[in-house]
A and B are shown apart, each in its own frame.
Chain A
Amino acid sequence: MKASQVKVCVLRIEGTNCEEEMFMSFKRLGAKPEKVHLKQLTGTDVSQEEKRDLSDYHILALPGGFSAGDYVRAGAIFAARMKSKLSKDLVEFIKAGKPVLGVCNGFQILVETGLLPAMSGIMSEFPEAVLGTNDSARFECRPTLLRKVNRGSCAFTSRISPDKISLIPSAHAEGKLMFPLDRTKAVLRELEDNDQIVFKYVDPEGNLAGYPWCPNGATENIAGICNREGNVFGLMPHPERVFFRFTHPDWTRETDGPGDGRAVFESVLDYATRKL
């Protein structure tokens, strides 16, 4: 399939607010993104022409924001709404090997839905992880550096060389990835074995470092994970904000080259054009 045929569903509800830059990131690479309201997939309050079917798309992208105000818990309401109406469609979508991306609030939604880490199967009945309040208890908007630790399973990072450090900025109040306390070690080992850990927060030398390089206190500095098949990927930092060099925080010091986030979108389009 050609990139121009890849249809991307950029899914939103009230409070989603990073859909424009997510949409543009796919569009700039020649794909066919569309901003779709959850109601258009569930068929609520929409006319016949506005109705959409998830299976018509090749990539599903959940952008950042504060869906439903992040009330109850970040991403929880979006997740509950999606799970109650779209479970079957989602499972089929993922089973077909189609990629799903969740950034920031989108990652929180994937975790709350049980699509990540998805230790067994495609979607767990209850969440198996959580993105909890940052250790600082504050919203943190700052540049973060991510080292790619994925060994090749993830469909979203094939264009990023192993151990490369990418500048992908963070902006969230709830990004501390945690697993059940009594099983953290076992879960981490399993994620490691399954090659599900994708990015870790590091300092400029590439070492796992504390605050502020790790803005939230996440377990093992983990910034992003994928499912076992590598086609569902969630991360807290925002690759769509650094599509171009000139939105890097320090680009006036080093003006050449593309933005570090671009490779995430190139990778998944590569995957889609080859596999779908």
Chain B
Amino acid sequence: MVVAEVRVELKKGVADPEGKNTLKALELLGFDGLKDVKTVKVFDIYLEDGGDVEKKVDEMCRRLLANPVIHNYSVKIK
């Protein structure tokens, strides 16, 4: 079995309200020295061995997991 780790993050410059609000909440809880918080989505996809796994997962990202307007994604085969 192969595990593909897909990491979907917001492109540079795209607003990240969830990150910003989390940052504020952490500061309100008394944590200092915080520079920024970014939200990233990670999917672990379990696949059978064989075939072009990388290509398959790339296709998954293009068809469902990421929206190219705001997202960058990267795939790590583990």
> Direct contact between A and B in the complex (CB less than 8 angstroms)?
yes
B70 touches A132 (CB 8 A): yes
A83 to B63, CA, bound (A): 9
- Stretch in contact with the other chain, from A153-161, A175-183, A242-250, A263-271: A175-183
Partner of B67 from the list A84, A127, A137 (CB cut-off 8 Å) is A127
Interface set of A (CB-CB < 8 Å, partner B): 72-73, 76-77, 80, 83-84, 112, 126-130, 132-137, 176, 178-181, 217
- CB-CB < 8 A to B70: which residues of A? 130, 132, 178
| Interface presence of B15 (CB below 8 A) | yes
Most buried by A among B17, B20, B63, B65: B17
A80 to B17, CA, bound (A): 25
CB contact under 8 A between A179 and B69, given known A133-B17, A134-B17, A137-B18: yes
* A-B interface, 8 closest residue pairs, ranked by CB to CB distance from nearest: A137-B17, A137-B21, A130-B69, A80-B64, A133-B17, A130-B67, A127-B67, A130-B70
A76 touches B64 (CB 8 A): yes
A243 to B64, CA, bound (A): 34
| Interface presence of B38 (CB below 8 A) | no
| Interface presence of B1 (CB below 8 A) | no
- CB-CB < 8 A to A126: which residues of B? 62, 68
What is the distance, in angstroms, from B30's C-beta to the closest C-beta of chain A? 21
A72 touches B64 (CB 8 A): yes
A129 touches B69 (CB 8 A): yes
A72 touches B65 (CB 8 A): yes
- CB-CB < 8 A to A132: which residues of B? 14-15, 70
| Interface presence of B51 (CB below 8 A) | no
With A80-B64, A126-B62, A126-B68 given, name 20 new contacts (CB 8 A): A76-B64, A76-B67, A77-B64, A83-B63, A127-B69, A128-B69, A129-B69, A130-B67, A132-B15, A132-B70, A133-B17, A133-B18, A134-B17, A135-B15, A135-B17, A137-B20, A137-B21, A176-B15, A178-B70, A217-B15
A137 to B52, CA, bound (A): 38
- CB-CB < 8 A to A137: which residues of B? 17-18, 20-21
Partner of A181 from the list B11, B16, B18 (CB cut-off 8 Å) is B11
What is the distance, in angstroms, from B44's C-beta to the closest C-beta of chain A? 14
B68 touches A127 (CB 8 A): yes
B window 58-78: CB within 8 A of A: 62-65, 67-70
A178 touches B17 (CB 8 A): no
- CB-CB < 8 A to A83: which residues of B? 63
Q: What would 16 A/B residue contacts be, using CB atoms closer than 8 Å?
A: A72-B64, A73-B67, A80-B64, A112-B67, A126-B62, A127-B69, A130-B69, A130-B70, A132-B70, A133-B17, A137-B17, A176-B15, A178-B14, A178-B69, A181-B11, A181-B13
Interface string of B14-42 (1 = CB under 8 A from A): 11111011000000000000000000000
Closest chain B residue to A80, Cβ basis: B64
What is the distance, in angstroms, from B45's C-beta to the closest C-beta of chain A? 12
Closest chain B residue to A125, Cβ basis: B62
Most buried by A among B13, B14, B63, B69: B69
